[in-house]
Amino acid sequence: MPETNGHDAPRVGFYVCHCGHNIAGIVDVAEVARFAGTLPNVIVARDYKYMCSDPGQELIITDIREHRLNRIVVASCSPLLHEHTFRVATEKGGLNPFYFQMVNIREDVSWVTENHDAATHKALDLVRAAVRRVAHHRSLATKHVRIHPDVLVVGAGISGIHAALTLANAGKKVTLVEREPTIGGHMAMFDKTFPTLDCAACILTPKMSAVKNHPNITLWSYSEVSEVSGYVGSYTVKVKRKPRFVSEELCVGCMECIDACVYKEGKTPDEFNQGLSKRKPVYIPFPQATPQVVLIDPDTCIEFKSGRCKKTCVEKCDRNAIDFKQKEEIKEIQVGTIILATGFKTFDPKRIPYYGYGKYPNVYSSLEVERLVNASGPTGGDLVLRDGRHPKTVGIIHCVGSRDRNTNRWCSRTCCMYSLKLAHLLKEHSEAEVYNFYIDIRAAGKAYEEFYDKLLEENIHFIRGRVAEVTDWSARPEEEGKMIIRVEDTLIGVVRRVPVDMVVLAVGMEPQADSQDVRRMFNISCSTEGFFLERHPKLAPVDTFTDGIFIAGACQGPKDIPDSVAQAGAAAAQALSLIDAGEVELEPNTAYVVEESCSGCKSCLNICPYTAITRDETRQKAFINEALCKGCGTCVATCPSGAIRQNLFEDEQIFSEIEGLLQEKESVLTGGGAWRAPA
Amino acid sequence: MPEKPKVAFYWCASCGGCEESVVDLAEEILGVVNAVDIVFWPVAMDFKKQDVEAISDGGILVSLINGAVRTSEQEEMAKLLRRKSALVVAYGSCAHMGGIPGLANQFDREQILRYVYEESPSTINELHTRPQTASPEGGHTLTLPEFRSMVRTLDQVIPVDYYLPGCPPVPRMLKAALDTLLSGNLPPKGTVLGPDTAMCEECPRKESKPADLAYTAFRRPHEVIIQPETCLLAQGVICMGPATRGGCGAQCVTGNMPCSGCFGPTSRVMDQGAKILSAIASSLSAKETEGIDRTLATIPDPVGTFYRYGLPGSLLRRKIADHN
Amino acid sequence: MASTGMKQGTNGWEPRIVAFFCNWCTYTAADLAGVSRLRHAPNARVIRVMCSGRLDPQFVLDAFARGADGVLVGGCHPGDCHYMEGNYKALRRVRLLQRMMKDMGIHEDRFRLEWISASEGEKVKTTINTMTERVRALGPLGLPERFAEWDEEMDGLAHAIAAQEEAVHA
């Protein structure tokens, strides 16, 4: 640890960054540098175009050596972006990195202020505060914690599967937790994928079985994370394993029990088929389900309801896999990093009643159509409507629950492309006339625009306009028995009525219903709409504000399969880089008790949610376990006699910041008492 | 025989308890009297202002001044003694932090005068006469000190070298302080001459305090039969001990009453009231505004509770009229 | 007390607001406001703390005593604290402090606690704007100026003593 003359009089080097025009366009940076030069303790004050660049950092390093600086202040962007950069430069100059203080004059000043004078004025106040503060900085040792090499991946859709396989292939032990009885997520329900039209199952099921068979992956399906504690490198996770009432170890997925069930026909809407078919109380979501294990639904099984079933399923199973007494289990695991890939839910089209979903049987959601055109779907791929007819005309309505102030404002990014795909598949399956009702066609992606071009040549109709309503009120003989889509065709400026046999609602993507609970459990943030919030939209798209927790796929925002897989790979790489580094640096912002100042009054003991504070009963003083302290500083503010302090956020540092911010107008404070803490 | 060091005692706005505490040195006082030459002590000896004026500047080794500063006369005497003394000690809570008289800083000057001279139930004053700083009488002008707009701590009027806390200070600490000051081996200027840990350290009930208090209501001492061996905070009675400098030997708690904070905060704390407020509020049970407010409503007078001895010396000093 | 304690007129006066923002929610939201170019009143000066639970009531009082016209505290929404419960502690302290400050005559609009999550850049903007306007309507608090003005009453005596001294020595 490079140690320097921290106890000598402060010699401050001050640097203000132009950030091109980002700062210098609003803030008078020359004035800021001039002003800083007049402040006590400031030895060097400079402005420079890009402080974060190599030459910018070199300025700091050289000045430290040439001017014997022992404190550094940089006024530039947010400390959340570049504090680390400048601490490293400070350290390279030979100082302890914590003799550095950053002033945010970009996010907090130039980007939010119109008036040049006001912006410069604000910058000067902030600079004065930082220069005062840095005088009270102390040399600190960086904390290191070991990273447990195991990883938890939550959610086993395509993102979670890909992340788990990437990690497992790199030799890491992965626990993959999936809430549903099978992995595969939404992708497993799809028929084909845009724009290549390769079959979803053909590309997904090999990955599913790779997950199942990988020696480094523990797959817990039909399970949910129930509790998370700890911190980066050392998380303790509790997982609730819901009872299948079928032993996962014994069942081989022969499905004979399903045939043997006393119910000859299914009576419960099949979740996987979006309710388009019925399943029995004993079932398997779909033939390629992974794991290949059936489960029993206690809500509909006669044995659970009455206890008087003949239990033909049990008789049939020669492996005795069925166990009505199976109980929920809570498993506890230790991991160092976590990847959340909890996916999305589709928009509920009932929320837009004028599109007739739930009212007219032949109005379908796009996910239902995925099942309907699927060869392994409820109709074996035969496009037969709920009323038994085959459609001659189909209307696909885009942006249902997307780009709409009444529902969701965001673009769900996938609906244009999957609508094009469905248009192609519907035409292929039925020779029907297919109309697309769209606002814009968003086909930004590799080979996406080309796919759109191809469809234009397939005689698919495109009508530009947001659909007003779907109705069965016929106005002309040719509309009899049909549903009529009313829309303004904005390209020709005419209100049209398009009679169709089938309506497909291209529903948008939404956060999972329990995304708020999940993010609380993992201590991460959500954006306003409820998708998980990335640490930085550009530079840290799979990181979160909680170290060691990463996000991938549609839980972060609507995205298609290629983007989800790319993100999953990125999240796995981020986890790997932590694991392979072996340890991670933590901010040394922990609290500590100054023992001779502590009266042992116990005011702090119950304040710490991490039980980091205990009382040494022989010495009758409080003691903070640094390994457990996460550095919030709540106990510091609580301690009624000022005996607890917090590294990087000492009372003196904050008081001097307050003083610096307000100094400009301060008049002589007479008296004030000798008990004022020395500032 | 060399000249004995000169010592002065003076009282400003105070109750006289500080003077009593000097007398409470009991036989020790004889030692003090032997060691020093008391040149001024209005409460006990007949000296006049002129006697002090006659002393050369800096000629008094130490002046121990108690009481808050409310009038122009107190200011004048404080300034005179400052000039004549090498060292000034703010003696007792009132000089130290404003003390009980400092609670008057919750009212402005006009409110106080009006109440005292016109509105209080025992007052009959049909002419609405108020004291005047100068009133002609039989060809002379009679004068009275001016009643200032607020109560001040001693160090808001003159520079103070040391502080001896307490309402009143305990004789043991006075003796130790005098010994220190007479020894010439002086602590840094501004030092409060007492221990620098909170009172709880010496409290006999300390071990009975549970770690988790989770307050749902507070009770004032007269509303509850105080258990003699249990921490007062654990009984829901606000005790300032955790935020108050020790040194008193936990006298109030020993007398089955909560600490009310007369020794002021430790050296690491600027505002005693703010700190005890923080510690107590942090341990409330409620988590939502309504429940929090319900619990806090059982503290009827936060300023009088948390700043009983320290209002003038607190960060805000006095009540203000914020907006017109 | 008719005097507001202000020496200078209110012309050209701008409210000065000290803001304590928690690192994980409100400070991040303020960054987001910046990245989104949500321009707002330039009157707030942010001090970053790790958690609103670090808010020592002394910070608030000291800010006022040193000339702040308003103090704003920003933390994570209830249930969202990065440190589990720091924001509840902040809320409790703030409620008691608000009562105490009201008793001391400071208008309640000068001290505000807001829950602002990391995604609520817009709320940073509206909070700072509305608070600035409310404080502007109240006018300056100007405690340092008031302190100085109050202490002027002692100057007369100081002058009288000086004159007396001069007379004695003359």
In a domain, B189, yes or no: no
Neighbours of chain B (3+ CB pairs under 8 A): A, C
Are B12 and B66 contacting, i.e. CB atoms less than 8 angstroms apart? yes
* C27 and C50 assigned to the same domain: yes
Q: What is the pLDDT of residues B259-281, one digit of tens each?
A: 999 999 999 999 999 999 999 99
Q: How far, in Å, are A421, A463, A506, A558 from residue A414 at the CA level?
A: 11, 19, 9, 7
Are A74 and A51 contacting, i.e. CB atoms less than 8 angstroms apart? yes
Any chain C CB within 8 A of the CB of A306? no
**Element at A122 (helix H, strand E):** helix A116-134
B160 burial class (0-12, 13-18, 19+ CB within 10 angstroms)?
buried
* B213 and B253 assigned to the same domain: yes
Contact B320 C105 (CB under 8 A): yes
Any chain C CB within 8 A of the CB of A589? yes
Contact C104 B271 (CB under 8 A): no
* C87 and C117 assigned to the same domain: yes
Q: Answer positive or negative: Cα dihedral of A667, A670, A675, A678.
A: positive
What would the two tokens of residue A398 be?
Answer: 């885009």
Any chain C CB within 8 A of the CB of B321? yes
Task: For residue C114, give the CATH number of its domain.
Answer: 3.40.50
* C72 and C148 assigned to the same domain: no
- Distance to chain A for B312, nearest Cα, Å: 9
Q: What is the pLDDT of residues A78-113, one digit of tens each?
A: 999 999 999 999 999 999 999 999 999 999 999 999
* C112 and C86 assigned to the same domain: yes
pLDDT, residue A27, reads 97
Residues in chain B with pLDDT values less than 50: none
Q: How far, in Å, are B78, B228, C139, C142, C147 from residue C9 at the CA level?
A: 35, 58, 10, 12, 17
| CATH architecture classification, A347-509 | 3-Layer(bba) Sandwich (3.50)
- The C-side interface with B (CB below 8 A) comprises 1-5, 56-58, 60-62, 64-65, 78, 88-89, 91-93, 95-97, 99-101, 103-107, 110, 138-139, 141, 143, 146-147, 150-151, 153-154, 157-158, 161
| Residue recorded with tokens 């070298």 | B161
Does residue C2 surpass a pLDDT of 50? no
Residues in chain A with pLDDT values less than 50: 1-4, 665-679
Task: For residue B91, give the CATH number of its domain.
Answer: 3.40.50.700
Give the residue from C149, C148, C139 showing the smallest Cα distance to B324. C139
Mutate to test the interface with A, among B201, B268, B280, B285 (most CBs of A within 10 A): B268
Instruction: Please give the Cα distance from C30 to A112 (Å, whole number).
Output: 9
Residue B275 with chain A: CB contacts under 8 Å: 639-642
According to the CATH classification, is domain A591-646 in 3.40.605.10? no
Instruction: Please give the Cα distance from A126 to C65 (Å, whole number).
Output: 18
Are A547 and A232 contacting, i.e. CB atoms less than 8 angstroms apart? yes
Contact A533 C118 (CB under 8 A): yes
Q: What is the pLDDT of residues C15-26, one digit of tens each?
A: 999 999 999 999
Beta-strand pair B85-91/B60-66: parallel
Residues 107-136 of A with CB under 8 A from C: 107-109, 111-115, 118-119, 121-122, 125-126, 129
Instruction: Please give the Cα distance from A321 to A316 (Å, whole number).
Output: 10
* C160 and C104 assigned to the same domain: no
Share of residues in chain C with pLDDT > 90 (%): 80
| Residue recorded with tokens 């962007």 | A77
Give the residue from C135, C143, C142 showing the smallest Cα distance to C15. C135
Residue C47 with chain A: CB contacts under 8 Å: 129, 654, 657-658, 661
Phi, psi of A522, deg, nearest 5: -95, 5
Contact C82 A545 (CB under 8 A): yes
Any chain C CB within 8 A of the CB of A606? no
| Domain range A143-242+328-343+512-587, CATH class | alpha beta
Contact A109 C42 (CB under 8 A): yes
* C119 and C151 assigned to the same domain: no
Instruction: Please give the Cα distance from B72 to C157 (Å, whole number).
Output: 7
In a domain, B14, yes or no: yes
In a domain, C4, yes or no: no
According to the CATH classification, is domain A12-142 in 3.30.70? no
Residues 107-126 of C with CB under 8 A from A: 117-120, 125
Instruction: Please give the Cα distance from A292 to C30 (Å, whole number).
Output: 49
* B212 and B135 assigned to the same domain: no
Domain A347-509 and domain A591-646 have a common topology: no
- Distance to chain B for C163, nearest Cα, Å: 13
In a domain, B317, yes or no: no
- Distance to chain B for A587, nearest Cα, Å: 25
Q: How far, in Å, are B28, B217, C93, C94, C132 from residue B282 at the CA level?
A: 45, 14, 6, 10, 29
* C49 and C67 assigned to the same domain: yes
* C161 and C123 assigned to the same domain: no
Helices C26-35 and C121-138 cross at an angle (nearest 10°) of 100
Identity of the residue in A609, A632, A657 whose CB atom sits nearest the CB atom of C54:
A632
Neighbours of B139 (CB within 10 A): 5
* B58 and B169 assigned to the same domain: yes
Does residue C6 surpass a pLDDT of 70? no
**Residue A445, C-beta contacts closer than 8 angstroms, at least 6 positions apart:** A195, A417, A560, A562
* C121 and C47 assigned to the same domain: yes
Q: What is the pLDDT of residues C112-164, one digit of tens each?
A: 999 999 989 999 999 999 999 999 999 999 999 999 999 999 988 878 777 87
Instruction: Please give the Cα distance from A175 to A178 (Å, whole number).
Output: 10
**Residue A382, C-beta contacts closer than 8 angstroms, at least 6 positions apart:** A429
Tell me the pLDDT of chain C averaged across its residues.
Answer: 90
- Distance to chain C for B179, nearest Cα, Å: 33
| Confidence band for C3, pLDDT divided at 50, 70 and 90 | very low
Contact B243 A641 (CB under 8 A): yes
DSSP letter for A8, please: S
- Chain C nearest-CA residue for A78: C31
- Chain A nearest-CA residue for B231: A601
Instruction: Please give the Cα distance from A587 to A629 (Å, whole number).
Output: 11
Residue B246 with chain A: CB contacts under 8 Å: 599
* C105 and C146 assigned to the same domain: no
Residue C62 with chain B: CB contacts under 8 Å: 270-271, 315
**What are the beta bridge partners of residue A586?**
A143
* C79 and C57 assigned to the same domain: yes
* B174 and B41 assigned to the same domain: yes
C130 burial class (0-12, 13-18, 19+ CB within 10 angstroms)?
middle
- Distance to chain B for C53, nearest Cα, Å: 9
Any chain A CB within 8 A of the CB of C148? yes
What angle (nearest 5°) sits at the alpha carbon of residue A415, between those of residues A413 and A416?
90
| Residue recorded with tokens 């007494």 | A325
Are A439 and A216 contacting, i.e. CB atoms less than 8 angstroms apart? no
Contact B320 C5 (CB under 8 A): yes
Any chain C CB within 8 A of the CB of B158? no
In a domain, C1, yes or no: no
Residues 590-649 of A with CB under 8 A from B: 596-603, 605-607, 615, 620, 634, 637-643
Number of domains in chain C: 2
Identity of the residue in C31, C125, C148 whose CB atom sits nearest the CB atom of A80:
C31
Give the residue from A387, A431, A338 showing the smallest Cα distance to A151. A338
Q: What is the pLDDT of residues B124-137, one digit of tens each?
A: 999 999 999 999 98
Any chain C CB within 8 A of the CB of B114? no
Owning domain of residue B14: 6-100+151-183
In a domain, B321, yes or no: no
- Chain C nearest-CA residue for B215: C92
Number of domains in chain B: 3
Neighbours of chain A (3+ CB pairs under 8 A): B, C
DSSP letter for B167, please: S
* B28 and B177 assigned to the same domain: yes
* B89 and B164 assigned to the same domain: yes
* B301 and B207 assigned to the same domain: yes
pTM for the model: 0.84
Any chain C CB within 8 A of the CB of B213? no
* C54 and C125 assigned to the same domain: yes
Identity of the residue in B80, B269, B282 whose CB atom sits nearest the CB atom of C93:
B282
Residue B319 with chain C: CB contacts under 8 Å: 103-105
Any chain C CB within 8 A of the CB of A667? yes
DSSP letter for A106, please: I
pLDDT, residue A545, reads 87
- Distance to chain C for A557, nearest Cα, Å: 14
ipTM: 0.95
Owning domain of residue C158: 142-170
Contact A106 C34 (CB under 8 A): yes
* B174 and B233 assigned to the same domain: no
* B144 and B159 assigned to the same domain: no
